[in-house]
Amino acid sequence: MHSENEYESALSYLYEKTLILHDPGLFNKVLYFYFLDSLAHIDYTLSIYSFNYQSPKNIMNGEYLRWRIDEEKKGDRAKFPAFINWIKEQHPDRFSKLPALWQMIYDTEDPASYRAFRIVLDPDSRQEIPVNFFYAVIDEFFETEFLKSLYEDASLATLFQTFLAGHRT
């Protein structure tokens, strides 16, 4: 664990967030899946930086994320990465308002990715991601306007349905 616990503080910051003013049951199911998926990757990355790799928390998180690999291939979930790139191309103004983590991870031109479930911004770097990055991406996922856009009849969900209508195979 880091002596200053800076990553553990960021992890606590994530856990202090709430969806109490929202009804996730009314969110678009695919967008909600990727919302939670992103939070799981943020949690896992911060936990790796905060606790021993073999801690029960990290082992449980890793098992959960392994399960999600198969889940993301089901139905319309598999089309989410292409949807993000479609938004980038067709609606650049809307793309710029997406959470930065989605922009980086799913943009085919960005080197960022999930590697061994960790967030890796630069595959050539061995440096830890600065803790301020995590505070910023956590805040983006809990912005009121972003959360409102996840509802089935809201802006991002509507764009996703438009994308799917044009990309059914």
Q: What pLDDT, in 10s, does the model give residues 124-164?
A: 999 999 999 999 999 999 999 999 999 999 999 999 999 99
Number of Cβ atoms within 10 Å of the Cβ of 160: 23
Considering the entire predicted model, what is its pTM? 0.93
- Give the three-class secondary structure for 100: helix
Query: What's the CA gap between 104 and 72, in Å, rounded?
Result: 18
- pLDDT confidence of residue 52: 87
What are the residue boundaries of the structural domains of the chain, listed by start? 6-166
Residues of the chain with pLDDT under 70: 1-4, 169
